[in-house]
Every structure is written in structure tokens, then in C-alpha cells.
Amino acid sequence: MNSARSWVVFGGAVFAYIIGVTQRTSFGVAGVEATHRFDVTAATISTVAVVQIIVYAALQVPVGVLVDRIGPRRLIVVGALLMGAGQVLLAFAPVFVVAFSARILLAIGDALTFVSVIRLLPNWFGGRILPQLAQWVGMLGQLGQIIATFPFALLLHTTGWQPALLIASSASVLAAVVALALIRRGEPPALTSPVPAGGVLSQLASTVRRPGTQLGFWVHFVAGTAPTVMALMWGYPFLTAGMGLELGAAAGIFSLLVLGQLVAGPVIGYLVARFPLRRSNIVLTVVILIVVLWMLVLAWPERPPVALVAALYFVIGVGGPGSLVGFDVARSFNPSHALGSASGIVNTGGFVGGFVAVFGIGVVIDIVRDAAGGTGPLYTLDAFRLAFLVPVVVIGVGVAGLLVARRRTRRRMYEVEGIQIAPLWVALFRARRRPPPPDSAE
């Protein structure tokens, strides 16, 4: 555990995830070009991202079960090869239907990657570093978004559609080779409880019923919806077509999604390790910041200041590490034999919220244009103002689900372990009134 070889395995797995994120987010950068290339509407092009998210989310539970049974290495390698094949198919797609199929193939490969990487960690690491490593995986993985924003966007605008996608495909082949060379399964953690009798479905049902699994799902849902919406589909078009920014300025602001993750990942990882009973409060604080800045941008009388939009993108990026707290929550409340399936369930959260919001935004944009008589540009700032209310509603639903699941989880902790968690305001009030220890008095 925590050996030099552990870090080699970690490096190979993270590299595969970085390339996976690059492939996942590349279509968001190419969204406007794809609209013109295939001559489709905003709602139609958004269905690509929606179906991509649906496929990804739908496969998370089966992938979680598979990774518990056959190990993460094979799934990571197969995932990389599938994503490479999807980019090749998209490069030569003559019509929208073929492009649609290409993104489904890529989504299948993408679905195999992240949960496999997360499941690999307990085989090689232990102690307080483990919850922090989940943050580092998510943080380092988002370097793939920088690759999609800068090098891939530059390739797309200089070399054209096919060369850019073929180069992206070759990166996935490299990721598969690196995974084969460096990743090993390692020693699975000791069983913390007997494996229950019954088939896979029975064991999966037990995992779903655990309040801690449900809480992890809603944590991922509320914090992961906004980053999914902006990174996968609508963040880049909002900057270029909605705000009217030049390519360089748009790419710079878009990259703040990643910077937010890079800055917040270690901080949230430390806070989660330091205050494990307040993980939901940490996440809710992040979500409140996102919604407040989001609504401020939408309510601005004219075009919002670039600095305000930049701050929004940075805070949305913080939501990425916030969503990863859901995996630590699920790990805390599940036996070791169910960690893969629990992680798969959690990982559907932000993507379920994301696909609802992504599709809703595309529909609202088309409705706004139809209301204007079908004339003028498809993407306008006013259209985005209305369409971007959809994620706010989706996040509100997620917060309600989180609060219900948290109450059930805390009740379960009290019944089983005798641990009673007071509301945060009560804990803060008690801490303020508690006298300092004698050796601290001066």
C-alpha cells in the first residue's frame, strides 16, 4: 500500500482518464462547427450530448458490477480503444446519424473509465490519503478539458474536422498502450462484511437501498450538474455565440472550469478528510456559490461583465471536486465487496442532472428562436438567459433529494453506530461557546 509502484499504477490510470475527458469534452468545443457541418438545429445537436450522457449514466451501474468482478485494468484498456474508434467514426461521418452513432460508441468507452480508476485506488492506497486521491483523479483528469479547449480547438480551426479528430483518436490508442504497460489490479481490500447470498441483482439492490449510496448519488447530482452542462455542451457556445467573445478569450474563460478544479481539489480533499461528518455541508456551500453567481450573470441588465462570467466558470469548476465527495460518502457506507457498484450508482448523479439540463437548454433555445419568427441567429444572449434557467431548476430538485437522503443516512448512523450529528448551526454555536483548553489560555 502507498508504495512507489502504487504511484506508477496511479499515473497510468490517471493518464487514461485524462485522455478520456479530452474525448468526452471535444464535441462541446466542436458544437458550433457540428451544427453547420450537419445542418441541424440546436436541439438536435444537443441530443448528441444528451444521448452521450444517457449512455454514460446508464452504463455506470453495470460497469460498477463488472469492475468488482473482472478488475479495472481490462475495462480501462477497452474503454480507451472504444473512444478512439468513436473519434475515427465521427471524423468520417457523412451525415448526422453516423455522427450520433460515433458519440454513442465514445460514450460507451468513456463509461468504462472513471469508475474503473476510482475502484483501482483502494487496491493500492490506504489511510487518509485515499479520499484525497479521488479528488486528485478528478482534478488531474480535467487537464483533458484543457487539451480539448486549447490544442484540440486550435487543431480544429487550423487543420479541419477530420485531421483534428484523427489526432484525438490516436491519443486514445496511446492511452490503451500505457494502461496495458503500467496498470495492475493490485490487492483488493479485505472484506468488511460477508458477501450476501443471491445473484448480482440482489446484491445491487442492497447497494441501492443503502441511504449512504443514495446520499452519494445526490451529492454528485447537485455539484456535478453545472460542470457537466458547461463542459460537455453549452459552456463554449455561450461564450462565443452568446457573449460574442473571440476564440482566445472564450478559450481562456472556458479553461477556468479546469482551474477551479485544480485549485479546489486539494482544498476539498483536505476538508473532507478533516471533517468527514460535514461532507454534505461542504458540497452545499459550493452549490450555493454556483447558483448565486449563475443567477447574477443571467439577471445582468445587458451583457454581463467578462470578469463576472469568468468568476462563474471558476466556481462551476469547483463543483467538479464537490461532486467527487459523493464517492467518498458511498465508500464510507458500503462494504468493500460493493464499492464498484456503489461508485457506479454515484457516478450517474451529475450525468443524470446534466443530460436533463443539456437537452432542456437546447429545447428552450429553439423555442426562443421560433417565437421570434425563426429569423436571426440561433444562439443569442437573450436565448441563453432563458435557457440557462433550466439547470437552476434541476439543481434545486437535487438539493431536495440530498437533504432527504442526508436525514435518512444520519438516522441510520444513529441506529447502527450511536453517532448523532447535530445541524451545522448547532455545532458552530456549541464550538463558539466551548471554553478554550487550559494550555491555550494566555
The answer to whether 319 and 224 are in contact (CB under 8 A) is: yes
Average pLDDT over residues 3-18: 92
> What is residue 399's predicted lDDT score, i.e. its pLDDT?
96
pLDDT for residue 295 is more than 90:
yes
Average pLDDT over residues 56-72: 85
Average pLDDT over residues 66-77: 89
Average pLDDT over residues 418-439: 60
In terms of average pLDDT, the best of 6-15, 37-46, 269-278 is 6-15
- Say which residues have a Cβ less than 8 Å from residue 254's Cβ, sequence separation at least 6: 149, 235, 236, 239, 313
Cβ neighbour number for residue 277 with a 10 Å cutoff: 14
In 3D space, the residue among 158, 168, 216, 157 whose CA is nearest the CA of residue 334 turns out to be 216
> What is residue 431's predicted lDDT score, i.e. its pLDDT?
59
The answer to whether 368 and 383 are in contact (CB under 8 A) is: yes
In 3D space, the residue among 339, 292, 293 whose CA is nearest the CA of residue 123 turns out to be 339
pLDDT-derived band at 435 (thresholds 50, 70, 90) equals low
In 3D space, the residue among 145, 96, 57, 89 whose CA is nearest the CA of residue 358 turns out to be 57
In 3D space, the residue among 325, 344, 178 whose CA is nearest the CA of residue 264 turns out to be 325
pLDDT for residue 78 is more than 60:
yes
Q: How many helices (H) and strands (E) does the chain have?
A: 22, 0
Cβ neighbour number for residue 150 with a 10 Å cutoff: 16
> What is residue 439's predicted lDDT score, i.e. its pLDDT?
44
> What is residue 276's predicted lDDT score, i.e. its pLDDT?
83
Q: Which of 137-146, 270-279, 425-434 has the lowest mean pLDDT?
A: 425-434
Write the pLDDT tens digit of every residue in 82-92: 999 999 999 99
The answer to whether 51 and 86 are in contact (CB under 8 A) is: no
List, as one string, the DSSP characters of 359-382: HHHHHHHHHHHHHTTS-S-S--HH
Better pLDDT: 181 or 57:
181
Average pLDDT over residues 127-132: 75
Average pLDDT over residues 416-438: 62
> What is residue 405's predicted lDDT score, i.e. its pLDDT?
93
Q: Which amino acid is at 86?
A: G
> What is residue 425's predicted lDDT score, i.e. its pLDDT?
58
pLDDT for residue 190 is more than 70:
no
> What is residue 388's predicted lDDT score, i.e. its pLDDT?
94
List, as one string, the DSSP characters of 381-417: HHHHHHHTHHHHHHHHHHHHHHHHHHHHHHHHHHHHH
pLDDT-derived band at 166 (thresholds 50, 70, 90) equals very high
CATH architecture of structural domain 4-184+200-417: Up-down Bundle (1.20)
**Cα–Cα dist 283/269, whole Å:** 12
The answer to whether 30 and 247 are in contact (CB under 8 A) is: no
Domain range list for the chain: 4-184+200-417
Average pLDDT over residues 240-262: 88
Better pLDDT: 247 or 109:
109
**Cα–Cα dist 326/344, whole Å:** 11
Average pLDDT over residues 164-170: 93
pLDDT for residue 316 is more than 50:
yes
Average pLDDT, the chain: 85
**Cα–Cα dist 200/344, whole Å:** 14
- For 224, the enclosing helix (H) or strand (E) is helix 211-229
pLDDT for residue 148 is more than 70:
yes
**Cα–Cα dist 105/359, whole Å:** 19
Average pLDDT over residues 64-77: 88
pLDDT for residue 369 is more than 60:
yes
Q: Percent of the chain at pLDDT above 70?
A: 91
Average pLDDT over residues 45-52: 79
List, as one string, the DSSP characters of 15-39: HHHHHHHHHHHHHHHTHHHHHHHTT
Average pLDDT over residues 379-395: 93
Q: Which residue has the cell 450508482?
A: 345
> Looking at residue 337, what DSSP letter applies?
G
pLDDT for residue 309 is more than 80:
yes
Better pLDDT: 440 or 153:
153
Average pLDDT over residues 73-87: 95
Could you tell me the CA-to-CA distances from 226 to 141, 270, 273, 289, 318 in Å, in that order? 17, 23, 25, 12, 10
pLDDT for residue 192 is more than 70:
no
Write the pLDDT tens digit of every residue in 193-226: 555 556 677 778 888 888 999 999 999 999 999 9
